[in-house]
Structure 1
Amino acid sequence: MYYPKFIYENLPYAYFLVCAYLLAFYDTWPVYTSAGLLYCAGCITLVTRSEYRRLDRRKDIENNPAKKNNLPEWLYEYLPYGYFAVAMVIVLKTTSATLQFIAFCLMILALRNLLFRMNNRRKAKSLF
Protein backbone atom coordinates (compact mmCIF):
# COMPACT_ATOMS: atom_id res chain seq x y z
CA MET A 1 0.00 0.00 0.00
CA TYR A 2 1.32 3.43 -0.92
CA TYR A 3 1.01 6.46 1.35
CA PRO A 4 1.91 10.03 0.38
CA LYS A 5 5.35 11.02 1.63
CA PHE A 6 3.93 13.57 4.08
CA ILE A 7 1.84 10.91 5.81
CA TYR A 8 4.50 8.20 5.62
CA GLU A 9 7.24 10.34 7.16
CA ASN A 10 5.09 11.69 9.99
CA LEU A 11 3.26 8.50 10.94
CA PRO A 12 5.52 7.57 13.92
CA TYR A 13 5.11 11.07 15.35
CA ALA A 14 1.35 10.74 15.02
CA TYR A 15 1.63 7.50 17.03
CA PHE A 16 3.52 9.42 19.73
CA LEU A 17 0.94 12.23 19.79
CA VAL A 18 -1.98 9.81 20.14
CA CYS A 19 -0.05 7.96 22.85
CA ALA A 20 0.55 11.21 24.76
CA TYR A 21 -3.11 12.18 24.41
CA LEU A 22 -4.27 8.83 25.76
CA LEU A 23 -1.90 8.98 28.73
CA ALA A 24 -2.78 12.58 29.56
CA PHE A 25 -6.57 12.33 29.50
CA TYR A 26 -7.51 8.74 30.38
CA ASP A 27 -6.74 6.53 33.33
CA THR A 28 -7.65 2.90 32.60
CA TRP A 29 -5.57 -0.18 31.88
CA PRO A 30 -6.86 -0.73 28.34
CA VAL A 31 -5.82 2.84 27.53
CA TYR A 32 -2.38 2.24 29.04
CA THR A 33 -2.04 -0.88 26.91
CA SER A 34 -3.11 0.97 23.76
CA ALA A 35 -0.73 3.85 24.51
CA GLY A 36 2.12 1.40 25.10
CA LEU A 37 1.45 -0.38 21.82
CA LEU A 38 1.31 2.91 19.92
CA TYR A 39 4.57 4.03 21.52
CA CYS A 40 6.24 0.72 20.64
CA ALA A 41 4.97 0.97 17.05
CA GLY A 42 6.42 4.47 16.71
CA CYS A 43 9.76 3.40 18.18
CA ILE A 44 10.03 0.32 15.98
CA THR A 45 9.19 2.39 12.90
CA LEU A 46 11.81 5.02 13.68
CA VAL A 47 14.56 2.50 14.51
CA THR A 48 13.81 0.46 11.39
CA ARG A 49 13.89 3.54 9.19
CA SER A 50 17.12 4.71 10.80
CA GLU A 51 18.79 1.37 10.17
CA TYR A 52 17.60 1.24 6.59
CA ARG A 53 18.58 4.82 5.76
CA ARG A 54 21.99 4.86 7.41
CA LEU A 55 24.71 6.37 5.32
CA ASP A 56 27.56 5.36 7.60
CA ARG A 57 27.07 1.58 7.22
CA ARG A 58 29.25 0.19 9.98
CA LYS A 59 31.99 -1.88 8.41
CA ASP A 60 34.24 -2.06 11.42
CA ILE A 61 33.12 -3.28 14.80
CA GLU A 62 35.51 -1.10 16.81
CA ASN A 63 33.51 2.02 15.89
CA ASN A 64 30.20 0.47 16.94
CA PRO A 65 29.14 2.10 20.27
CA ALA A 66 26.99 -0.90 21.21
CA LYS A 67 30.04 -3.18 21.08
CA LYS A 68 32.14 -0.71 23.08
CA ASN A 69 29.53 -0.71 25.86
CA ASN A 70 28.85 -4.46 25.68
CA LEU A 71 25.19 -3.84 24.94
CA PRO A 72 23.15 -5.91 22.52
CA GLU A 73 22.44 -3.96 19.34
CA TRP A 74 18.66 -3.94 19.87
CA LEU A 75 19.03 -2.59 23.42
CA TYR A 76 21.41 0.12 22.24
CA GLU A 77 18.95 1.21 19.55
CA TYR A 78 15.88 1.35 21.81
CA LEU A 79 17.49 2.71 25.01
CA PRO A 80 16.75 6.43 24.40
CA TYR A 81 13.11 5.61 23.68
CA GLY A 82 12.98 3.66 26.95
CA TYR A 83 14.47 6.64 28.83
CA PHE A 84 11.84 8.92 27.35
CA ALA A 85 8.97 6.53 28.12
CA VAL A 86 10.03 6.17 31.76
CA ALA A 87 10.41 9.94 32.05
CA MET A 88 6.94 10.57 30.64
CA VAL A 89 5.31 8.09 33.01
CA ILE A 90 7.08 9.74 35.95
CA VAL A 91 6.01 13.23 34.84
CA LEU A 92 2.39 12.25 34.29
CA LYS A 93 1.89 10.06 37.35
CA THR A 94 3.91 11.65 40.19
CA THR A 95 4.01 14.98 41.98
CA SER A 96 7.35 14.57 43.72
CA ALA A 97 9.78 17.31 42.71
CA THR A 98 12.76 14.97 42.99
CA LEU A 99 11.22 12.36 40.71
CA GLN A 100 10.18 15.02 38.21
CA PHE A 101 13.74 16.36 38.15
CA ILE A 102 15.00 12.83 37.46
CA ALA A 103 12.42 12.56 34.67
CA PHE A 104 13.63 15.85 33.19
CA CYS A 105 17.23 14.53 33.26
CA LEU A 106 16.11 11.32 31.53
CA MET A 107 14.37 13.35 28.81
CA ILE A 108 17.51 15.40 28.22
CA LEU A 109 19.62 12.23 28.07
CA ALA A 110 17.23 10.63 25.57
CA LEU A 111 17.16 13.74 23.38
CA ARG A 112 20.95 14.03 23.51
CA ASN A 113 21.42 10.40 22.46
CA LEU A 114 18.94 10.67 19.60
CA LEU A 115 20.45 13.91 18.29
CA PHE A 116 23.99 12.49 18.44
CA ARG A 117 22.84 9.39 16.56
CA MET A 118 21.12 11.44 13.92
CA ASN A 119 24.26 13.50 13.45
CA ASN A 120 26.69 10.57 13.50
CA ARG A 121 24.72 8.41 11.07
CA ARG A 122 24.97 10.85 8.24
CA LYS A 123 27.62 10.60 5.64
CA ALA A 124 30.80 12.44 6.63
CA LYS A 125 31.47 15.64 4.78
CA SER A 126 34.03 15.21 2.06
CA LEU A 127 36.82 17.61 1.19
CA PHE A 128 36.19 17.03 -2.50
Structure 2
Amino acid sequence: MFYPKIIYENLPYLCCLISAYLLAFYDTWMVYTSAGIFYSVGCLMLVQRSNYRRVDRYKDNPNCQQTLPVLVYEYLPYLYVATAMMLLLKTELAILQFLALCLMIIALRNLLFRSNNRRKAKSLF
Protein backbone atom coordinates (compact mmCIF):
# COMPACT_ATOMS: atom_id res chain seq x y z
CA MET A 1 0.00 0.00 0.00
CA PHE A 2 1.39 3.39 -0.99
CA TYR A 3 0.61 6.73 0.61
CA PRO A 4 1.12 10.13 -0.97
CA LYS A 5 4.60 11.49 -0.27
CA ILE A 6 3.32 14.42 1.77
CA ILE A 7 1.55 12.05 4.18
CA TYR A 8 4.33 9.45 4.27
CA GLU A 9 7.12 11.92 5.00
CA ASN A 10 5.23 13.78 7.74
CA LEU A 11 3.61 10.85 9.56
CA PRO A 12 6.31 10.51 12.28
CA TYR A 13 6.10 14.22 13.05
CA LEU A 14 2.32 13.98 13.25
CA CYS A 15 2.65 11.20 15.82
CA CYS A 16 5.02 13.35 17.89
CA LEU A 17 2.67 16.34 17.65
CA ILE A 18 -0.27 14.24 18.81
CA SER A 19 1.83 13.08 21.73
CA ALA A 20 2.76 16.65 22.67
CA TYR A 21 -0.88 17.75 22.41
CA LEU A 22 -2.02 14.94 24.70
CA LEU A 23 0.65 15.75 27.27
CA ALA A 24 -0.06 19.48 27.20
CA PHE A 25 -3.82 19.41 27.63
CA TYR A 26 -4.73 16.24 29.55
CA ASP A 27 -3.59 14.82 32.86
CA THR A 28 -4.51 11.14 33.36
CA TRP A 29 -2.45 7.98 33.24
CA MET A 30 -4.31 6.71 30.17
CA VAL A 31 -3.40 9.86 28.28
CA TYR A 32 0.24 9.51 29.37
CA THR A 33 0.22 5.95 28.06
CA SER A 34 -1.32 7.03 24.75
CA ALA A 35 1.14 9.89 24.42
CA GLY A 36 4.03 7.52 25.11
CA ILE A 37 2.78 5.11 22.46
CA PHE A 38 2.37 7.88 19.86
CA TYR A 39 5.84 9.25 20.65
CA SER A 40 7.43 5.80 20.52
CA VAL A 41 5.83 5.02 17.16
CA GLY A 42 6.97 8.37 15.75
CA CYS A 43 10.54 7.81 16.97
CA LEU A 44 10.56 4.25 15.66
CA MET A 45 9.48 5.45 12.21
CA LEU A 46 12.15 8.16 12.17
CA VAL A 47 14.95 5.79 13.20
CA GLN A 48 13.92 3.05 10.76
CA ARG A 49 13.63 5.55 7.92
CA SER A 50 17.02 7.01 8.77
CA ASN A 51 18.65 3.56 8.87
CA TYR A 52 17.13 2.62 5.55
CA ARG A 53 18.33 5.82 3.83
CA ARG A 54 21.68 5.91 5.57
CA VAL A 55 24.80 6.31 3.42
CA ASP A 56 27.35 7.55 5.94
CA ARG A 57 30.83 6.14 6.18
CA TYR A 58 30.38 4.30 9.50
CA LYS A 59 27.56 1.99 8.46
CA ASP A 60 29.62 -0.90 7.13
CA ASN A 61 33.01 -0.12 8.64
CA PRO A 62 34.15 -3.01 10.90
CA ASN A 63 36.98 -0.89 12.37
CA CYS A 64 34.60 1.71 13.77
CA GLN A 65 34.67 1.72 17.58
CA GLN A 66 31.35 2.59 19.20
CA THR A 67 31.07 3.37 22.89
CA LEU A 68 27.28 2.85 23.01
CA PRO A 69 25.24 -0.04 21.64
CA VAL A 70 23.57 0.88 18.35
CA LEU A 71 20.06 0.67 19.78
CA VAL A 72 20.90 3.07 22.63
CA TYR A 73 22.77 5.39 20.26
CA GLU A 74 19.84 5.65 17.86
CA TYR A 75 17.15 6.39 20.45
CA LEU A 76 19.08 8.50 22.97
CA PRO A 77 18.24 11.94 21.47
CA TYR A 78 14.55 11.02 21.42
CA LEU A 79 14.78 10.00 25.07
CA TYR A 80 16.38 13.38 25.82
CA VAL A 81 13.53 15.19 24.08
CA ALA A 82 10.87 13.15 25.91
CA THR A 83 12.51 13.79 29.28
CA ALA A 84 12.86 17.49 28.53
CA MET A 85 9.21 17.80 27.48
CA MET A 86 8.03 16.08 30.65
CA LEU A 87 10.20 18.36 32.76
CA LEU A 88 9.00 21.49 30.98
CA LEU A 89 5.33 20.58 31.14
CA LYS A 90 5.11 19.10 34.63
CA THR A 91 7.51 21.06 36.85
CA GLU A 92 7.84 24.63 38.08
CA LEU A 93 11.38 24.44 39.46
CA ALA A 94 13.77 26.69 37.58
CA ILE A 95 16.70 24.29 37.85
CA LEU A 96 14.70 21.45 36.30
CA GLN A 97 13.49 23.70 33.49
CA PHE A 98 17.11 24.69 32.85
CA LEU A 99 18.01 20.99 32.77
CA ALA A 100 15.21 20.46 30.24
CA LEU A 101 16.60 23.25 28.06
CA CYS A 102 20.06 21.65 28.21
CA LEU A 103 18.63 18.26 27.25
CA MET A 104 16.80 19.82 24.28
CA ILE A 105 19.99 21.49 23.08
CA ILE A 106 21.99 18.25 23.38
CA ALA A 107 19.29 16.29 21.53
CA LEU A 108 19.07 18.89 18.75
CA ARG A 109 22.85 18.92 18.41
CA ASN A 110 23.00 15.12 18.13
CA LEU A 111 20.18 14.98 15.57
CA LEU A 112 21.74 17.75 13.46
CA PHE A 113 25.13 16.02 13.46
CA ARG A 114 23.46 12.77 12.43
CA SER A 115 21.56 14.35 9.58
CA ASN A 116 24.75 16.01 8.40
CA ASN A 117 26.67 12.71 8.52
CA ARG A 118 23.92 10.73 6.82
CA ARG A 119 23.44 12.86 3.74
CA LYS A 120 23.59 11.21 0.40
CA ALA A 121 26.94 11.35 -1.27
CA LYS A 122 27.34 13.77 -4.14
CA SER A 123 27.21 12.10 -7.50
CA LEU A 124 29.26 13.00 -10.54
CA PHE A 125 26.25 13.16 -12.82
- Report the equivalent of 2:29: 29
TM-score, length of structure 1 as denominator length: 0.90
2:73 matches 1:76:
yes
Which among 104, 119, 122 is matched to residue 119 of structure 2? 122
1:9 alignment partner AA? E
1:33 alignment partner AA? T
Q: In structure 2, what is the Cα distance between the partners aligned to 1:62 and 1:122?
A: 21
Greater than 3 Å deviation, 4+ residue runs: 123-128
Native 8 Å contact 1:47 1:77 kept in 2: yes
* 1:34-49 correspondence to structure 2 within 5 Å: 34-49=34-49
- Report the equivalent of 1:62: 63
- Report the equivalent of 1:9: 9
Native 8 Å contact 1:20 1:35 kept in 2: yes
Identity among equivalent pairs (%): 66
Q: In structure 2, what is the Cα distance between the partners aligned to 1:74 and 1:68?
A: 11
Q: In structure 2, what is the Cα distance between the partners aligned to 1:9 and 1:39?
A: 16
- Report the equivalent of 2:91: 94
- Report the equivalent of 2:109: 112
Shift of 1:42: 0.2
Native 8 Å contact 1:62 1:68 kept in 2: no
Q: In structure 2, what is the Cα distance between the partners aligned to 1:26 and 1:93?
A: 11
2:9 alignment partner AA? E
Which structure 2 residue ranges, 5 or more long, are not aligned?
none
Deviation string for 1:15-45 (max 9, x for gaps)? Answer: 0111010000000010000000000000000
Which structure 1 residue ranges, 5 or more long, are not aligned?
none
Number of aligned residues: 124
